[in-house]
Amino acid sequence: MMKLADIIDENVEELAALDTVDNGKLFGLSKDWEIPGVAECLRYYAGAADKIHGETLKMSRELQGYTLREPMGVVGHIIPWNFPTSAFFLKVAPALAAGCTMVVKPAEQTPLSALYCGHLAKQAGVPDGVLNVITGFGPTAGAAICSHMDVDKVSFTGSTEVGRLVMQAAAMSNLKPVSLELGGKSPLIIFDDADVDKATDLALLGVLSNKGEICAAGSRVFVQEGIYDEFVKKLSEKAKTWVVGDPFDPKVRQGPQANKTQFDKILSYIEHGKREGATLLTGGRPCREKGYYIEPTVFTNVTDNMVIARDEIFGPVMSLMKFKTVDEAIKRANDTRYGLAAGIVTDNLNVANTVSRSISSGIVWINCYADLDMDCPFGGYKMSGFGKDFGMEALYKYLHVKSVVTPLYNSPW
Ligand code: ADP
């Protein structure tokens, strides 16, 4: 795994370019951040591989008890198209460290980097048969993994709808455990004491990063009434200067959507928002002559029950909403079937503590957004799924716990 990390470091540009060609994500960000992060991920779990151990148990009778952590066996990893290389290694690295073998199915829209990573893994000396990459479509190749009787665990990242099918297929076959990292409709709550300049930057980055194709996108932005008007003015000025274009161009901040299905889906949500009576503050249209480019789009006058405030759009579309009190913000932020992430902007410690403990989501960012770290577990509550990526939690999801019990002194037999 250490050697594979070094090989990834030598192939940063190639991997970044493959993901940009396949997905439309910014080449510069991939090269400087996402792909180096993958090498870091491999090193993190390589370092954990020889520190997997059980516990000695405090038995109440004269018995000796201890636990072993054992690899689950054959893991099926089903990968999404928004972060092709990093999603690949966030699944593969902990499973390898746990001692599992695996079949990885990248998304049909973005298979190139996964195939290349399979090749690099072979070069690093991962034995044949341990890390298998299979391309194919979801309802065929993906479904076959989920219902296979010899697959012992499925780790899935994708939409909530498909997550349900994955769990169903697992239940109907060998009851294999699944972990699901699914969609989100994450709130970013900005309080009156926030620096409006910084908060608008954070809000834009929260929803426009990776052209909004990010499960933790802060797509519902709640702004307290005292700064709302100033926030709207500044946000609209900044959104209009956001550069959309060729993802290989270093001046560009937003590339094209990953595919036509996604492009059409986002535009139809924007039309839906207009029909529902939300006000288009900026954007709302495709841009540039060729390619799946969409203007950074901000809606105001959004109400909590509108479809654009409830559904995951997975595109550069923000719903901006005004609130008065802390309690109101908590209630409205939690009024979603999802629970992946949330953000809070305030310097008031009491407010930050109260809100972070009251929000039903797997991660809460205070005065930052979408900051992740290898040691920081990431995964949802509610219909955003269960089971974590990142951190030691991700390693444990590929390990069984076995208890071993023996008499402490002479056996009665
Ligand atoms: P999106 O809606 O964002 O395209 P999906 O959840 O459809 O995301 O896809 C994520 C991954 O799930 C992809 O690798 C896709 O091929 C796979 N997939 C899609 N349908 C199924 C299915 N029925 N069973 C298993 N995997 C599937």
Q: What is the ipTM of this complex?
A: 0.97
The finding on whether 105 has its CB within 6 A of some atom of ligand 1 is yes
Q: How far apart are CA 335 and CA 34, in angstroms?
A: 32
Contact 98, 11 (CB under 8 A): no
pLDDT band with cut points at 50, 70 and 90 for residue 289: confident
DSSP string, 327-368: HHHHHHHT-SSEESEEEEE-S-HHHHHHHHHHS-SSEEEESS
Burial of 82 (C-beta count, 10 Å sphere; 0-12/13-18/19+)? buried
pLDDT at 270 over 80: yes
pLDDT at 413 over 80: no
Average pLDDT over residues 386-399: 98
Chain center to CA of 232: 28
CA of 350 relative to ligand 1 center, distance in Å: 41
Per-residue pLDDT at 288:
87
E strand intervals along 4-161:
56-57, 63-71, 74-78, 101-105, 131-133, 153-157
Interhelix angle 35-48/12-23, nearest 10 degrees: 120
The finding on whether 108 has its CB within 6 A of some atom of ligand 1 is yes
Q: What is the pLDDT of residues 223-234, one digit of tens each?
A: 999 999 999 999
Average pLDDT over residues 60-66: 94
Could you identify the atom of ligand 1 that is nearest to the CA of residue 145? Answer: 25
Beta bridge partners of 343: 188, 365
Neighbouring C-beta atoms of residue 413, cutoff 10 Å? 4
Could you identify the atom of ligand 1 that is nearest to the CA of residue 146? Answer: 25
Is the domain defined by 187-366 classed in CATH 3.40.309.10? yes
Q: What is the pLDDT of residues 142-175, one digit of tens each?
A: 999 999 999 999 999 999 999 999 999 999 999 9
pLDDT band with cut points at 50, 70 and 90 for residue 245: very high
pLDDT at 412 over 70: no
Q: Which two tokens stand for residue 61?
A: 């009778």
Q: pTM higher than 0.90, yes or no?
A: yes
Testing ligand 1's pocket by substitution, the residue of 78, 173, 384 carrying the most ligand atoms inside 8 A of its CB is: 78
The finding on whether 165 has its CB within 6 A of some atom of ligand 1 is yes
- The rounded percent of the chain whose pLDDT value lies above 90 is 98
Q: What is the pLDDT of residues 293-304, one digit of tens each?
A: 999 999 999 999
Per-residue pLDDT at 410:
74
In CATH terms, the superfamily for domain 1-182+380-404 is Aldehyde Dehydrogenase; Chain A, domain 1 (3.40.605.10)
Helix segments in 127-224, DSSP class H: 143-147, 160-172, 196-208
CA of 281 relative to ligand 1 center, distance in Å: 33
Task: Assess whether 213 carries a catalytic annotation.
Answer: no
Q: How far apart are CA 36 and CA 11, in angstroms?
A: 10
pLDDT band with cut points at 50, 70 and 90 for residue 411: low
Domain locations in the chain as residue ranges:
1-182+380-404, 187-366
The residue nearest atom 15 of ligand 1, judged by CA position, is 138
Average pLDDT over residues 8-12: 98
Per-residue pLDDT at 409:
85
Start-to-end CA span in the chain (Å):
47
Contact 234, 197 (CB under 8 A): yes
Beta bridge partners of 178: 154
Q: How far apart are CA 199 and CA 142, in angstroms?
A: 40
Burial of 261 (C-beta count, 10 Å sphere; 0-12/13-18/19+)? exposed
Q: How far apart are CA 109 and CA 301, in angstroms?
A: 35
Q: Which of 34, 181, 295, 312 is catalytic?
A: 181
Testing ligand 1's pocket by substitution, the residue of 88, 145, 162, 178 carrying the most ligand atoms inside 8 A of its CB is: 162
Helix H or strand E segment including 7: helix 2-10
The finding on whether 142 has its CB within 6 A of some atom of ligand 1 is yes
CA of 143 relative to ligand 1 center, distance in Å: 9
Could you identify the atom of ligand 1 that is nearest to the CA of residue 165? Answer: 23
> Which residue type is seen at 205?
L
pLDDT at 236 over 70: yes
338: Cβ contacts below 8 Å, ≥ 6 apart: 160, 182, 183, 184, 185, 186, 312, 361, 380, 382, 383, 384
Per-residue pLDDT at 401:
98
Q: What is the pLDDT of residues 107-150, one digit of tens each?
A: 999 999 999 999 999 999 999 999 999 999 999 999 999 999 99
Q: If you average pLDDT over every residue of the chain, what do you get?
A: 97
Q: What is the pLDDT of residues 308-335, one digit of tens each?
A: 999 999 999 999 999 999 999 999 999 9
The finding on whether 143 has its CB within 6 A of some atom of ligand 1 is yes
